[in-house]
Amino acid sequence: MADQQPANEPTRRRQFLGRLPLPERTYIADALRTETVGGVLLLIAAVIALIWANVWPHAYESVLDYTIGPSGPLHLDLSLDAWAKDGLLTIFFFVAGIELKREFVAGELRSPSAAMLPVIAAICGVALPAIVFTIANSGSGGHPGGWAIPTATDIAFALGVLAVVGSHLPSALRAFLLTLAVVDDLIAILIIAVFYSSGIKFWALGLAFAGLVLFWFLHRRGVHGWYLFVPLAFVIWALMHESGVHATVAGVAMGLILRCHRVGDEKYSPGEHIEHLVRPISAGLAVPVFALFAAGVTISGPALADVFTQATPLGIVLGLLVGKTVGIFGGTWLAARFTRAELNPQLKWADMFAVSVLAGIGFTVSLLISELAFPDDADLADLSKAAVLVGSLLCALVATVLLKLRNRHYRALCEEEDRDLDGDGIPDVYQQDDPAWQARVAEAARRSADGDRDGARPGPGSGPGSGSAPKSTPGSAPGSAPESGPGR
């Protein structure tokens, strides 16, 4: 493999987007499998919302404005729209908090050198769209207060596009997209907490903080039981909502509290176990229902014309399509250029550019910030949502074309990464330095060569773990065998 260090080379640059460790690769694959399903459901919910809002607009508005919940003592008599925005999205941000905690203690962010590149890429991918939007809205008639709308990446929607396109992204590139989105979510959370919280009630904020301390204490003491933690989590959320700080911050805080490293003979940490239980609820219910209530905007010829002629929506479209792409790709290149990181030689910068365009799909958090940025101007908020949909659609279309062009290259990488010549269930790339594996492959090659000399194929059971031996020579590189691993 190209990422192995030669014996005579004392030091080398750290490889960027190199092969992931097998446990990390398995975790990423499981997480992405759920997110891609959620992305497809998110897309379906968005289409239903658009049809509903344009065919039966009065029915759609009446459902959004329907109020439910107690008015006292914490003013939870909220519309269904508010319950989706402040309540269901808290589940989404709770999972994001767990993902972030896990990345810091066991994932790509646990090492400062490894974390540097996705963090720099995410920061640039947030800063440049904000700058593009601000420039577009710097003149008269602009609304610079919406600068944060195009800064977010929707990982579920992006992975949903990947599921539809059917690209064979290597696991390290997929992990980069997921890690980038996790850091992006953290920045978005900080933006919401700092810039879109007002009228802070410190008594409620203090009680919410006390609830978080109790949550941490019970968790660290090993107390179990959903019947205890779910009511406590709801109380913390309600107090955070009452305090004036956006309620989704409570979900992130509780996610960060969970322990995500394994102790003793634990098969899974508490954070991993809870994330496994909650992620399907987030990806399959919370986010699609939010999209159903948030994506319903009126689409017409004049409305689409406004998207490309008015400063605010045009800034959003340019921020997503141009700002995100240039920011993420440029930040990645700068990090690789001026740090001790180098791109995996099996990948090309064209791959990174395609993923950077894909990361421009901003949906869930962008729609949320559209409402928070213009709370007193419903028409401007709807126009901003339409711009988010148009910008995300453009990014999806452009990324689809670019990924299709790279699809053959991705398929070859995946086949090499998944190849299992000895049939033991472990990809060969993780065993190529194991003498026992080398002996098994060499023995299989010898038997194959003997069979060819005798004019007969080896019988069943002659190859290790399979019905026939791979046709390779002893000592040959694992990647040179013509057999391919299981397709994706």
| pLDDT 10s digits, 237-278 | 999 999 988 888 899 899 999 988 888 788 888 888 898 888
317, amino acid identity: V
The mean pLDDT value for 278-297 works out to: 86
pLDDT band at residue 467 using 50, 70 and 90 as cut-offs: very low
Average pLDDT of the segment spanning 404-424 = 71
Q: Pick the most confident of 31-35, 404-408, 409-413.
A: 404-408
For residue 341, with 0-12 CB atoms within 10 Å meaning exposed, 13-18 middle and 19 or more buried, which class applies?
buried
Tokens (6 digits) for 468: 């026939």
Is it the case that residue 462 has pLDDT exceeding 50? no
Amino acid 258: pLDDT: 92
**Residue 107, both tokens:** 């994932």
Distance CA 22, CA 256 (A): 25
Rounded distance between C-alpha atoms, residue 271 and residue 101, angstroms: 9
- In this prediction, residues 434-440 reach a mean pLDDT of 78
Answer whether residue 407 shows pLDDT above 80.
no
**Residue 11 pLDDT > 60, yes or no?**
no
Of 79-88, 152-161, 415-424, 439-448, least confident by mean pLDDT is 415-424
346 vs 5, residue with greater confidence: 346
Q: What is the mean pLDDT of residues 410-414?
A: 68
List pLDDT tens digits, range 127-171: 999 999 999 998 887 888 899 999 988 877 777 676 667 556 666
**The pLDDT value given to residue 59:** 92
Instruction: Provide the pLDDT for residue 85.
Output: 86
pLDDT for residue 204 is more than 70 = yes
Contact 214, 232 (CB under 8 A): yes
Q: What are the residue ranges of helices labelled H in 166-201? A: 171-195
The pLDDT of residue 195 is above 90: no
Kindly state the percentage of the chain with pLDDT values over 70.
76
Please state which of the ranges 241-250, 388-397, 455-464 shows the lowest mean pLDDT.
Answer: 455-464
Q: Which residue has the tokens 């339409």?
A: 386
- pLDDT score of 475: 40
DSSP strand pairing (78-79 vs 14-16): unpaired
Query: Among 121-130, 275-284, 380-389, which stretch is predicted with the lowest mean pLDDT?
Result: 275-284
Return all residues near 392 (Cβ < 8 A) that are at least 6 apart: 154, 157, 320, 360, 361, 362, 363, 366
pLDDT at 330: 93
Q: Give DSSP secondary structure letters for 258-314.
A: S--S--TT-SS-HHHHHHHHHHHHIIIIIHHHHHHHHS-----HHHHHHHHHSHHHH
pLDDT higher than threshold 70 for residue 483: no
pLDDT at 108: 63
Average pLDDT value for residue range 439-460: 68
Please choose, from the candidates 155, 159, 242, 130, the residue with its C-alpha nearest in 3D space to the C-alpha of residue 197.
Answer: 242
* 233's tokens: 């989590």
| Interatomic CA distance for residues 465 and 251, integer angstroms | 47
Residues 96, 275: Cα–Cα separation, whole Å: 9
DSSP states of 200-245: --HHHHHHHHHHHHHHHHHHHTT---HHHHHHHHHHHHHHHHHHTS
Local structure of 31: helix, strand or coil: helix
What local confidence, expressed as pLDDT, does residue 344 receive? Answer: 66
pLDDT digits 0-9 by tens, 36-77: 677 778 888 889 999 999 999 899 999 988 999 888 788 888
pTM over 0.85: no
